[in-house]
Structure 1
Amino acid sequence: MTPDVKVEPSSVAMDEIWTVERVKALGVMTNVETAAQILGIGRTVAYRLAKDGEFPVQVLRIGHSYRVPVLRLLELLGAEEG
């Protein structure tokens, strides 16, 4: 990670807590903003990390969009299916 990037937990309301079941319900892919919220990373920092190839999980560049495989999020959270 670059030294000038500060990663802090985002302020998520209690009804916005991401459970494993809720993450699994996202399907195969999600966007960087959702992945960042799940990981407690702010939007601006998340896009900077994705652009620099330093996001905590795999990020795919598809056209002008970034997509995050949900399986990679689940693996990071220790909740992947066997």
Structure 2
Amino acid sequence: MTRPLTFAEAFDLPLSVDLATAARAFGICVGTAYRLVRLGTFPCPVIRVGRHYRVPTASMLVALGVEERPVYSEE
């Protein structure tokens, strides 16, 4: 299993992410993420683009309970 996303990494993501990155954000393995997508129970919307899946970052953050981006400083 890969390590979960850090707070700083979560707020530095592009507009959409691949399913592996979304799985990291939710703390689940990629195999579980694919199974949840197939079952239609992934915790946020997933968009299929050809053979690949994309997850809108804003939807993912809302599902994680992050409603707005906090002011964050890394020193």
**Could you tell me the TM-score, scaled by structure 2's length?**
0.77
Q: 2:44 aligns with which of 57, 60, 79?
A: 57
Deviation readout 1:30-66 (Å, 9 max, x if unpaired): 0111100110111111111112211111100111100
Say yes or no: does 1:18 pair with 2:2. no
Question: What 5-or-longer segments of structure 1 have no aligned partner?
Answer: 1-9
Superposed structure 1 runs of 4+ greater than 3 Å apart: none
Give, in whole Å, the separation in 2 of the partners of 1:11 and 1:48.
17
For the aligned residue pairs, the C-alpha RMSD in angstroms reads: 1.9
Q: Encode CA deviations 1:15-41: one digit per residue, 9 max, x unaligned.
A: x5421x422311100011110011011
Counting only pairs closer than 5 Å after superposition, residues 1-82 of structure 1 correspond to structure 2 as 10=1, 12=3, 17-19=5-7, 21-81=8-68
| Alignment size in residue pairs | 69
TM-score when scaled to structure 1? Answer: 0.71
List runs of 5+ in structure 2 lacking aligned partners: 70-75
